[in-house]
Structures are given as C-alpha cells and as structure tokens.
Structure 1
Amino acid sequence: MEVSRRERGTSITVVRRMTAMDAARNVQAHPGRPLAARGSVTQIFGVTRPRNRVPAPQPTARFDVMPFVIWTLVVASVIPWRVGVYFSGSIDPVVVIKAALGVGALGLAAVVGSPQRSGRALSPVGGASLGLILIFAAISTFGGAAANDLPAAAVSSIRLVILAITILLIVRRHRPASLLRSLLVAFAVFGVISAVSGLPALSSTGRLFGAFPPLQPNIIAMLCSLPAIGIVHDLVIARRAWAPRLPVLIVLVGIVALTQSRTGLVALLVAIVLIFVFTRRLDIKTLSAILIMVPLTTAVLFYSNLLTQLAQRGEAVGRGISTLDSRTVAWGAVLSTPNDTWARWVGSGLSVKQVAVVGQYWTDQVLDSSWISALAQAGVLGALVMAIWVAATILNSVRARRLRSFAFPVLVFTLIRSFLENGLIDSNLMFIVFFVFALLIERENLLSGLTTVSRSLPHVEPYRSAQVSSIAFSRNRHSFPSTRPKRQRPPKGGIE
C-alpha cells in the first residue's frame, strides 16, 4: 500500500498492520485533517521511511539487581565457610544452609527473566558444555560407587549439576552484559568484604587471609582478579570513563598483591596483557597510563624487595617453593595409581579433595590442581572429557568476535590457575567463571551460525512472511506483487 503526501512530492511505502476497515474508518473520522494529524503513520501501518531519520539513542548500561541477587546466592553456596573442612558425606548445618542457598538460586534463576515476565524470548544456548559436564559427573559418580563412597560422590555430583543448571538458566534469561556485570560485582563484594575483615591479622600472618567469610588468600585473589580484568577491559576496549573505575581497580589489584598469590598475580598480568593484544587502537588516556605505569612498575620491582618477599613469603631462603613441593607429592600419589583399578580410569568421586601420601611427616595432602583432581575424581576418562571441554571452549572463544576480547583473557586466566588450584569442574568459583563463558561463547557462535545460514537463503519479502493477511492496495486493488513494487507516481487521493 502506498501513502502519498503532496507537500513532499514523495511516496512512503508501508506495511499494513491494520485491516482495511480500520484504516478507512480512521480516514472517515477525520476527513479534514492531513494524514500526519490523524495519527502517526507508524501507529497505523507499522513501518515508515522518513527522509531524515534521527538515530535512536543507544541504551545506557544499567545494573540489574536480580541477576546480582542470584549470583550472590550462587557464590555464597560455593565458597568455603570453614577452614580445612571438606565434605565427606556427613550432613551438618553448614551443608544444609549451603544446599538451601544453591536450591534458592536455582529457583530464582528459573523465575526471574522468564518470557512470561520479561516479554523476551529465551536465548538459545548450545548443549555441548552441559553435556560434557553431565558426562563428567556420571563418570565420577560411578567411580565413587566403585570406591564404596557412593553417598558423598552422589551428593557432590548433584551439587555440580544444580550449579550448572542454575548458570544455564541465568545465561538463557539475561543479556550477556547484564549477567557478566552482576557476576563481577558479586565477586568483588565477597572479595573486598573478606579482605577487609582480614586486615587486622595481616601483620602477623604476612598474607591476607579472610575472616568473614574465612577465605584463603588464593580465593580472595580469584574474587578480586576477575572484576579487575573487567575494569581493564572497560577502560581499554570499551573506553569507559576512568574517574569512577580507576580507584576501584587500584583497590582490587592492591588486595590481590596483599594475598601474595603468585599464581593469581601471574595469571592476572597475562590476562591484562591479552586485553591489550586485542586492542586495535589506544586512546590518549590509555597510552598515557601505559607510559606512566610501565616505568613505575619496573622501578618498584627491580629496586625493592617485593619480588623476593613474593617468592619467599616469609619462609627461609631456598624454601619459598615448598608449597609446590607439597603439591608434587600429592600429584605423584595420584599419578602412581595402578592401571588395573577402577580409580585409575573412573576415579573415586567428586568428594575426593585430598589424597593419602607415603614417606612424609604428614598423611594427607590437598590435591591443589584441577587436572590432578580430575584424575583422582573421574579417572583418565573424566580428565579426557575435561580436556576436550577446555580445549573446545578456548578455541571457540577466538571465533566469538563480540566476546573474545574479554572471554579469551578470562579463560586463559582461569586455565593458568587451574594447574595449581582445584575447582575447574566442581562446585567452585573457577567452574562458575569457565562455565559461564563457555555457554556465552556457544550462544555467540550459534547465533553467528544462524545468521550465516539465513544470509545464504533466498530473500523473502518481510511483509509476505510476517503479515500473511496483508494486502497491497492501489487504485486497481492488485494483490501482492511477486517482486518489490516499483516506484511510481502515486495516484491522487492518497489512501483508497
């Protein structure tokens, strides 16, 4: 249907969203008014093509409260509440409360952001990551049954599955920017609160331990490093304002430094360098900050004993890597598992966090490596599943053009920490981060694939597929043309 405006001398082709009777009734009700005074053409017909289109303002970034609440419950359900205590199958108040928090987060994730409430369709998410996690959980549960520890292994696997489904629902029902911003804020809140509560004991311990909640230095470094990486990405890639973000960045990096987490600091530095690698061009503020920080950091590192203190961490000279020596003892015990046992191939369950050691003055040693933990919990088969998941996620992150500048550095950061820390596939902060980005990358690549397929299809006029009852009106009342109508001089009288 064509609408003519004599004062402009042009025609506006529109798609009809009302019936012919409604349009005729609108014209008859106001015969003396011009078309613009009867109501917006967009309101009557749906689509217009004005001569000078004013670009719509871009939506400003806003903070969504409900994703933050869900992430707060999720983080509270996975962080340790007690020092040196691991779940062994027994039920106590702490276990019950953490389970209630996890189930509550799952319930909120299933309700908040639903299509009925938000009016927005669910985002498609691939099932590869979730499928591999379910396979890993099944293998570890079978291993726990083979090791006569089925209750603890089953409960740990159920916790992992609940956490994975909760994250899947959050990713499907919320925008990537919203859920990532809420996740990083939740991490920062827990990390800063725990760090501030542990400051009074810093002088006696030498490292920053948390008091409320009682978190280890490596966990505090994990909680503060991810928001720091996000702020650096905002400043360098997104070019956001420096004034409100730079003080927060300094506080977060300072907390990570006070934890003296060597792996965390190295991983954070590598992630920041990768963000700069993805930068196409630097603005004057970023370039000035680099020119100031590089000489200053070099001077602090080489003209102070900071590196020595970080390497020794209050221990005697030559014993600064004693923690790595302890780790290798546990790793050797896992790697020496006989090949003719179930534990070698399917592990002993997700509840395994320690391993018995021989020839030392201690009897048990924490595994402190996600990869060695995978061998102990799910055997060779589970470690192979985890390796496939990690490799596929990191490789696919390079293909995700809109996410790779942030996803790839974060994934590399998490991968570096996984070699010396537990939790890559477990009810752990590391799993939350890696699984969130794995799902976002799958969704990005899935949508990119759908776009590529749709572009390869023959072009179909949008009004023919979307409005099957629409009719193109002209003076002779022709039906829909098979091709797009040619620009012709409109008949007198406008709409007929």
Structure 2
Amino acid sequence: MTNGKSAQAPARLADAIAAPDNFPSLGTRLPRRIWLPLLLLLVASIPWRRGAYFSGGLDTVVIAKAALTVVAASLALPNGALPRRAVPAAPFVLLGLYLTISAFGAWMYGDLIPTLALVMRVGLAAVVVYCLLSSFDTAGVLMGLARGMLVVGGFAAVTGLPTLSSGRLSGGLPPIAPNEIAILCGVPFIVLFWRAVYVGRSRLDVLLLVALAVTVYATASRTGIALLVAATLLALIRARHLRAIVVVMAAASAPLLAYVFAYTDVFAGFLDRGGTGNTATLNSRTIAWTAAAELAQDWLQHLFGAGMSRKIIAVTGQYWSTQTLDSTWVSTLVQAGYLGLVLLVGLIVYGARGVAFVPGPLSVLLAVLLFFSVGRSILESGMMDASSGFLTFFVLVTAAGAVRLQRNRLTTSRGDRL
C-alpha cells in the first residue's frame, strides 16, 4: 500500500512550479536572453507612424521593424547551456493554421505581399515565445514581458505629456495611440498589483502602481480603464488571504468612488468622451462591423478572409468613407474568415483550460491577464496581428499550457519513482 505522504509528494513538488515566492520582483535581475528579445519585439510591434498601415512598400521603418524582429528571434534561440522545458505544440499549430488561412485569403482576395510580411513577423514572434518558455521558467518570462511593456509604454507616455492638452495622453516617441499606451501600461500594472497582493510589495512597486494607474486614466481609454478595474477586482476576489494594507485601501476607496459616481459628472464626462462626432464610439464601430460582415464576395472569402493586411474598411451612408476595424473579432472575420474565428476561439479555450489546471496563485495572474487581453479584443483590434496585444495574448496562452504540461510531467515522473 502506498504511503499517504508519499502519494501527496508529487503534487507538492508539482505545485512548487507555480509558487508565488518564485515570482521575481521588479528589481530581480533577469537574464538578458529573456528581456532583450521581448523588448525588441515590443519596439517592433508598436506603430512608429500615426495612422499609417503597411501596404507592401519598403521604407526605413518597415526594414527597421523587420530587422528588430529577426534580431529578437536570433537572441532568443536556445544555446544548449540550459535544460529544455516542455512547451505545448497546440498553440503553435492553431496559430500556424491561422496564418496559413489568412495568407491563402490574401492570395485570392487581398494583397499577398503585405500579408506575408505580417505573417512572417507574427511567426517570428511565436518562435521567440517558444524559445523563451522552453529555456526559462514562466514567471521570469512574464516579468520580462511586463518590464518591456513598462519601458516602452512609460517612455512613450513621458515623451507624450504635451498631448494631454488635447484631452488624451498619446505617445510622443513613438507617436502611439492612447489605447496602445493603455495596454502597454495595463499589463505591468496587473502584474505588479498581483505581486503586491499575493507575494509582497516594495515602495517602488507602490509608486509604479500609482504612476501606471494615472497614466492609463490619462489615456481616457474607456476599454482599457474598465478592463483594468475589472481585472483588479477579479484578482482581489480570487485571493484567499488579503494583506491588511490591501483591505484598508479597498475599504477607504469605496466611499470615495461612490461619491465620484453619484455626485460628480466625472463618470458621465468620461463616457461621453469626444462628443457625438467622435467616430471611435461604439455606435460608429457597429457601422464598420456591419460593413465587415457584408464584405465577402463568395463563400470562399467567408471561409478564408482577405489577408492580415486588411485593416481599413469602406463604409457608406456616413460623412466618413473609411474606418478601421476596431475589434479583433471583426478583424479576424475580415482577415481570416470564419475558419480564423474558429481558430481564435480554439486559442482562447486552450489558454483558459490551461489556466484552470495551473496550481496556486499563478493561476490567478494568468487568468486576470487573459481576461484583460481577451476583453480588450472585443472593442479593440490587434490581438491577432504583429502587435503588443498579440505578444501578450500568445505568451499567456502558451505559458498556461507550458505550466500545465510541466506540472503533469513532474507529477508523473515523481509518482513513478515513488
């Protein structure tokens, strides 16, 4: 008969993979092979020119972005000095099918050359994710991603402070949109907030949390702010034990928030941002979504889409003639068709299933970040593109599967030995 303590040993050893104490702090020194490729990918993924989309021509910006992506992939390649970790194949198979379908649709109905360029950049980003998760622990990769986003988003926000006079904080260098700053600063906020609740905090963490919260609020990104608040509440709800300081701060902020919502016009003004003429409202988004649903010419285009380079759609009956596809789901329908939508759902389901089997508080972090990423995709595009949103999403999906796979293998091997 197996001893009870011996039977429980594999589970305890496997749970150690996701122990919060193993999660690095902001000041922990990470290997350069973690943070440098991620930083280069983030720099290459954000827009360098406002309102410009790649249409197939070569210029300095296009060449520089391609070069940064190739360098990032080269730096992330395993060198044999570190033991290999198990990484699931499913996310890469689903992504590979998605990219193939989009390229086929571009060949038939769109611009093949710009789509192939985007396919290669997304594919190289996936290679970087595989190499990092196969060489380093999940916690280190997540913190490396958070640090990279903090650097890029923080620099863009600081250099864009003069844009506050227009009512919204945009990037200065590079000139990225407010919504992009919201995700670049939102992800490190969630990581630091989770660590403060589940692991520990420092004065630097608290200062950065305040600075990141103020920055996201200054962008006036309604989707980003709403999801950040919801993600924070989700992290608190999932906590089994809250630190006293967290309880005190939550209790103290509740009356203040109630007063702001009930007795001031801050909330109403925030919802009405930009006035009735703003074409980024939900109403104008639905106009573009309707046009996107009617774009396909035949059943093959319904299935395969028109390629990843299709980001602007013509609209009729309005005072504007074209509009961007402000939703990952609508963009996927246009760029990769119904088959692409099925694969996107498959990636999300795979990531959510992996999160459900991740042990300990790390599952909370992955769940909250996945909620933030997928929630943003409803009203903002980019989760299946060469963007910071895709990099975040794919790291989360693959990391959740990797932790689950590593845990199962460790449990099985230890159980066999016992």
TM-score (normalised: structure 1): 0.76
Counterpart residue number, 2:197: 236
Q: Distance in 1 between matches of 2:23 and 2:184?
A: 29
Pair 1:166-2:134 in alignment: no
Q: For residues 388-425 of structure 1, what are the alpha-carbon distances to aligned partners after superposition, in whole Å with 9 as ceiling and x for unaligned?
A: 11122113212111431100000001111000111111
How far is 1:58 from its partner?
8.6
Counterpart residue number, 2:84: 122
Q: For residues 15-45 of structure 1, what are the alpha-carbon distances to aligned partners after superposition, in whole Å with 9 as ceiling and x for unaligned?
A: xxxxxxxxxxxxxxxxxxxxxxxxxxxxxxx
Q: Distance in 2 between matches of 1:385 and 1:160?
A: 15
In structure 2, what residue type is equivalent to 1:126?
P
Counterpart residue number, 1:254: 214
Pair 1:81-2:48 in alignment: yes
In structure 2, what residue type is equivalent to 1:244?
L
Give the secondary structure class of the aligned counterpart of 1:355.
strand
Structure 1 residue aligned with 2:322, among 361, 364, 367? 364
In structure 1, what residue type is equivalent to 2:48?
W
Q: Distance in 2 between matches of 1:347 and 1:260?
A: 33
Q: For residues 67-101 of structure 1, what are the alpha-carbon distances to aligned partners after superposition, in whole Å with 9 as ceiling and x for unaligned?
A: 22222111001000001100111111100000000
Q: Distance in 2 between matches of 1:58 and 1:342?
A: 49
Contact 2:291/2:315 (<8 A) preserved: yes
Contact 2:87/2:134 (<8 A) preserved: yes
Moved more, 209-218 or 291-300: 291-300
Contact 2:40/2:69 (<8 A) preserved: yes
Structure 1 residues 58, 195: CA separation in 2 closer, same or farther (over 3 Å shift)? closer
Counterpart residue number, 2:7: none
Q: For residues 258-302 of structure 1, what are the alpha-carbon distances to aligned partners after superposition, in whole Å with 9 as ceiling and x for unaligned?
A: 111110011101111111122111122221121222222222333
Give the secondary structure class of the aligned counterpart of 2:326.
coil
Identity %: 32
How far is 1:175 from its partner?
2.1
Contact 2:260/2:267 (<8 A) preserved: no
How far is 1:362 from its partner?
2.1
Q: Distance in 1 between matches of 2:417 and 2:207?
A: 53
How far is 1:115 from its partner?
2.7
How far is 1:163 from its partner?
1.1
Structure 2 residue aligned with 1:344, among 302, 306, 325? 302
In structure 1, what residue type is equivalent to 2:104?
F
Structure 1 residue aligned with 2:401, among 420, 428, 442? 442
How many residue pairs match? The answer is: 394
Structure 1 residue aligned with 2:157, among 170, 192, 195? 195
Moved more, 329-338 or 120-129: 329-338
How far is 1:304 from its partner?
2.5
Give the secondary structure class of the aligned counterpart of 2:203.
coil
Q: Distance in 2 between matches of 1:60 and 1:137?
A: 34
Q: Distance in 2 between matches of 1:417 and 1:458?
A: 45
Q: Distance in 1 between matches of 2:317 and 2:54?
A: 26
Give the secondary structure class of the aligned counterpart of 2:379.
coil
Contact 2:85/2:406 (<8 A) preserved: no
Q: Distance in 2 between matches of 1:406 and 1:321?
A: 34
Counterpart residue number, 1:429: 388
Structure 1 residues 287, 347: CA separation in 2 closer, same or farther (over 3 Å shift)? same
Pair 1:136-2:98 in alignment: yes
Q: For residues 202-224 of structure 1, what are the alpha-carbon distances to aligned partners after superposition, in whole Å with 9 as ceiling and x for unaligned?
A: 12x11111111101010001011
How far is 1:438 from its partner?
1.2
Counterpart residue number, 1:303: 263
Q: Distance in 1 between matches of 2:140 and 2:152?
A: 19
Give the secondary structure class of the aligned counterpart of 1:457.
helix
Contact 2:110/2:310 (<8 A) preserved: no
What pairs up with 1:90-489 in 2 under 5 angstroms?
A: 90-110=57-77, 114-116=79-81, 120-203=82-165, 205-238=166-199, 240-316=200-276, 323-338=281-296, 340-402=298-360, 403-457=362-416, 459=418
In structure 1, what residue type is equivalent to 2:173?
F
Q: Distance in 2 between matches of 1:60 and 1:160?
A: 28
In structure 1, what residue type is equivalent to 2:137?
R
Unaligned runs of 5+ in 2: 1-20
Give the secondary structure class of the aligned counterpart of 1:83.
coil
In structure 1, what residue type is equivalent to 2:177?
Q
Could you say what the CA RMSD is over the residues aligned between the two structures, in angstroms? 2.0
Structure 1 residues 60, 182: CA separation in 2 closer, same or farther (over 3 Å shift)? closer
Structure 1 residues 142, 321: CA separation in 2 closer, same or farther (over 3 Å shift)? closer
Structure 2 residue aligned with 1:63, among 26, 29, 35? 29
Give the secondary structure class of the aligned counterpart of 1:451.
helix
With a CA cutoff of 8 Å and minimum separation of 6, indicate the structure with the bigger relative contact order. Answer: 2
Q: Distance in 2 between matches of 1:89 and 1:102?
A: 17
Structure 1 residues 246, 86: CA separation in 2 closer, same or farther (over 3 Å shift)? same
Q: For residues 172-200 of structure 1, what are the alpha-carbon distances to aligned partners after superposition, in whole Å with 9 as ceiling and x for unaligned?
A: 12222222112111111111111112212
In structure 1, what residue type is equivalent to 2:70?
V
How far is 1:320 from its partner?
7.0
- Is the radius of gyration larger for structure 1 or structure 2? 1
Unaligned runs of 5+ in 1: 1-56, 460-496
TM-score (normalised: structure 2): 0.90
Q: Distance in 1 between matches of 2:89 and 2:144?
A: 24
